[in-house]
């Protein structure tokens, strides 16, 4: 079991956020926050693996994505 203490102001903000997102109660808030944390970490791991694989070279763009026009 994990626990965290948060201040009154943050608790009020989280309750308001939960209402906007349709979350019911503290357990749903914590589960949603942990899922977001996990997703963000997974994205960061993917980005790091791309950086490690390509090193100093520029990775190719995904299929169907045109390079940005740099205006020159």
Residue spans per domain, the chain: 25-55
Residue 58 has pLDDT above 70, yes or no: yes
The Cα-based distances of 37 to 28, 33, 44, 60 in angstroms read 14, 6, 11, 28
Model confidence band, residue 3 (pLDDT cutoffs 50, 70, 90):
confident
Model's pTM, two decimal places?
0.70
The number of helix segments (H) and strand segments (E) in the chain equals 2, 0
- The answer to whether 29 touches 18, Cβ cutoff 8 Å, is yes
Q: Give the pLDDT confidence score for residue 1 in this predicted structure.
A: 83
Q: How far is Cα of residue 67 from the mean position of the Cα atoms in its chain?
A: 25
């Amino acid at each position: 079991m994990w626990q965290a203490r948060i201040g009154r102001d943050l608790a009020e903000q989280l309750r308001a956020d939960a209402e906007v997102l349709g979350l019911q109660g503290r357990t749903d808030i914590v589960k949603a926050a942990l899922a977001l944390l996990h997703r963000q970490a997974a994205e960061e791991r993917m980005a790091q693996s791309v950086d490690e694989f390509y090193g100093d070279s520029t990775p190719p763009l995904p299929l169907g994505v045109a390079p940005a026009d740099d205006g020159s």
